[in-house]
Structure 1
Amino acid sequence: MTPEQEQLIKSHADAIAEILYDDCNPELLKTLEDIEITVKDRVLSYVTPQIGNFFIGATSGTKAGRIKTLKSTLGDLSITEKQADKLGCGSSSRLSPHLENCCLRLSANVAYKNAAQDIEYITGISVSAKTQQRLVHYQEFKQPIATIDISELSADGGKARLITPKGEKSEWKDYKAIVAEVGIVASFDRNAIIIDWANEQPLAKPLTCLGDGHDGVWNIFKEISCEQDRREILDWFHLNENLQKVGGSIKRLKQAEAYLWRGNVESATALFTELKKKPAVNFCKYLEKHKERIVNYEAFQRDNVCSIGSGAVESGIKQIGRRVKISGASWKLEHVGQVLAHRCAYLNGLIGQSRKAA
């Protein structure tokens, strides 16, 4: 922009500011926040819609088609069907793409009612809680795409509370999530979503798969990549946690931990085979079941072969839970999958355009 253009904008802006100021009630201008809110409201009503409409016409190069009003972060815009089509805005939409994404980013973190309050306070534009909810349920959320080979995957499960008839006990249902360096993907009642996503990505050979002792996790990994290309590892921290549940002699527990840290399952099992109490018996069965997944954790960590714990996915589950388990939240069965996709898209940074410095 030339100095002359900057000066022209300043003179026009000064004239606009004077008109807007003369139209204001002085009682609404007692603090700086009063001024910010009042100016924003006036600009959204009288200034930015005119600028937005000019840009729409100049950029699209057409004025053809039926005109509709579009609610946007610039205020109410007038846009024709042809203009909307050229500018990537659905002809049936009543909200602009940027306003939609602002709503989706907010409702990915808070309840729809709170998102409605926040969007109005931040942008000056009113979008009801019901509209916030509809936006989520009709959206096709993007999934992360790896551009380099994925070397590690970790999987785990979380819970979502379902809406139940009044007076009946709350019902919680499991969902699964998988995490890679590129992001997190979750699914409810449809493991195929995360399995298909993983198999569509470029996968390293070997592919390290980390998980706890639950069958559901390993059933997912079984469908990813080829068996000979997978390195399945039982999460060290879950293994040690299960060991400590056996209880009894501290000396024996420490010896077992040392054996397991080096991947010596046979020696660790021998310490408990003579014990008859249920925790010890169950732990021996646990070791037998997962013996092929128990590696030399000490060497793997020392040589930086790969991760030895599934902390990444556990953290991801907690991040999802901050929205799914928000105080008082319960969901219709048919909506849980979309709510998970919404939260994951937000955590993966896939809602809205990335803003770069001009």
Structure 2
Amino acid sequence: MTSDQEQALNAHLEAIAQILYDESDSTAITTLEGIELTLKDQIQTHVSPQLGPFFIRKVSRTTAGKKRRLKSTLGQLTLTHRQAQSLGVAPHRQLSPHLENCCLRLSANLSYAQAAKDLAYLTGIVVPAKSQQRLVHQQDFAMPRVDCPIQELSVDGGKIRLRTELHQASEWRDYKAVATEQGIIANFHNNAQMINWVNSQPLEVPVTCLGDGHAGVWNIVAEIATAAERREILDWYHLVENLHKVGGSTRRLHQAETHLWKGEVDAAIALFKDCRGKQAQRFCEYLSKHRQRIVNYDYFQAEGICGVGSGAVESAIKQIGRRVQISGAQWNAENVPQVLAHRCAYLNGLIGSL
């Protein structure tokens, strides 16, 4: 901006400011916050709806087509069908792209009702809770972008509460998630969607797959790449957690942990061969079942070959849970996949751009 342009702009702004000040409720502008809220409302009502169409005409270079109205962070805007096409505004949408992204970023963290309240306070634009919910279910949320081969992924499951009839007990159901260095994906009753996404990406050979002892986790892993192209590792921290459930001699538990840290499964099982307790027997069965997934953790960690714990996906499950398990939240089963996709898109930084 040149000096002359800046002087001209300042003169116009001074005149605009005087008009807006004269039209303000004097009782509403006695504090700085009051000035901020009043000025934001006036700008969205009187100023930016005039500036917006000017930019729209200049950029789109057209005024042709049927007119439509949009709510936007600039206030109410009117643009034509051709202008909407030129500027990437989807047909039949009542919210501008930026306002949509504001809604989606808020409702990815909050209930739809709270998102509506926060949006009104932050932007001055009212988008009711029902509209917030409909907006989520209209989206085709982007999946993580993978630019280089996936070296490591972890698989785990979380819980989500399904809506039930009044006075009926809550139903908690499992969903599954996959975490990679590039992002998180999750789905409900559609493991194939996650598996297909992983297999459609470039994968390191071998690709490391980490998980706990749950059979559902390894059923998913079994569909990723081929057996020769993947390295399956039982999460070390889950392994130790299961070890200490056995109880008994602290010395024996310490010895078993030392053997397992070096991948010595037979030596660990031998320590419990004379134990008749059910926990010890179950633990030995657990070790035998996952024998091929229990590696020399000491060596793998020392050499930096790969991770030894599935902390990434456990963290992802907790992050997803902060939205889907907020107080009182219940979900229709058919809506759960989209709710999970919404939260994952937000966590992956794929809603809006800065």
* TM-score, with length taken from structure 1: 0.98
Match of 2:29 in 1: 29
**1:161 equivalenced with 2:161 (yes/no):** yes
Match of 2:145 in 1: 145
Match of 1:86 in 2: 86
* Matched length: 354
Match of 1:340 in 2: 340
Counterpart-to-counterpart distance in 2, 1:91 and 1:239? 53
Match of 1:300 in 2: 300
1:154, 1:180 within 8 Å by CA — same for their partners in 2?
A: yes
Per-residue CA deviation, residues 162-212 of structure 1 (Å, 9 max, x unaligned), is 110001000001000000000100000100111111111111011000000
**1:244 equivalenced with 2:237 (yes/no):** no
| Deviation of 1:266 (Å) | 0.5
| Deviation of 1:241 (Å) | 0.5
| Deviation of 1:8 (Å) | 1.3
**1:285 equivalenced with 2:285 (yes/no):** yes
Question: What SS does the corresponding residue of 1:47 show, helix, strand or coil?
Answer: helix
Match of 1:111 in 2: 111
Opposite residue 94 of structure 1, the aligned amino acid is Q
Counterpart-to-counterpart distance in 2, 1:13 and 1:192? 58
Q: How large is the Cα RMSD of the aligned pairs?
A: 0.7
Q: Which runs of 4+ in 1 moved over 6 A?
A: none
Counterpart-to-counterpart distance in 1, 2:12 and 2:158? 56
Per-residue CA deviation, residues 121-148 of structure 1 (Å, 9 max, x unaligned), is 0001000000000011111100101101
* TM-score, with length taken from structure 2: 0.99
Opposite residue 303 of structure 1, the aligned amino acid is E
Match of 2:349 in 1: 349
Per-residue CA deviation, residues 202-236 of structure 1 (Å, 9 max, x unaligned), is 11011000000001111111111111010000000
Counterpart-to-counterpart distance in 2, 1:193 and 1:5? 55
Per-residue CA deviation, residues 246-297 of structure 1 (Å, 9 max, x unaligned), is 1111111111111000000011011112212110110111000000000000
| Deviation of 1:347 (Å) | 0.2
Bigger mean CA offset, 29-38 vs 4-13: 4-13
Counterpart-to-counterpart distance in 2, 1:10 and 1:224? 62
Per-residue CA deviation, residues 337-358 of structure 1 (Å, 9 max, x unaligned), is 10000000000000012x2xxx
Opposite residue 123 of structure 2, the aligned amino acid is T
Counterpart-to-counterpart distance in 2, 1:229 and 1:145? 22
1:111-130 equivalences in 2 (<5 Å) = 111-130=111-130
| Deviation of 1:6 (Å) | 1.3
Opposite residue 201 of structure 2, the aligned amino acid is Q
5+ long unaligned stretches in structure 2: none
Counterpart-to-counterpart distance in 2, 1:294 and 1:196? 26
| Deviation of 1:28 (Å) | 1.1
Opposite residue 217 of structure 2, the aligned amino acid is V
1:161, 1:173 within 8 Å by CA — same for their partners in 2?
A: yes
1:1-358 equivalences in 2 (<5 Å) = 1-353=1-353, 355=354
Opposite residue 283 of structure 2, the aligned amino acid is F
5+ long unaligned stretches in structure 1: none
Counterpart-to-counterpart distance in 1, 2:145 and 2:225? 17
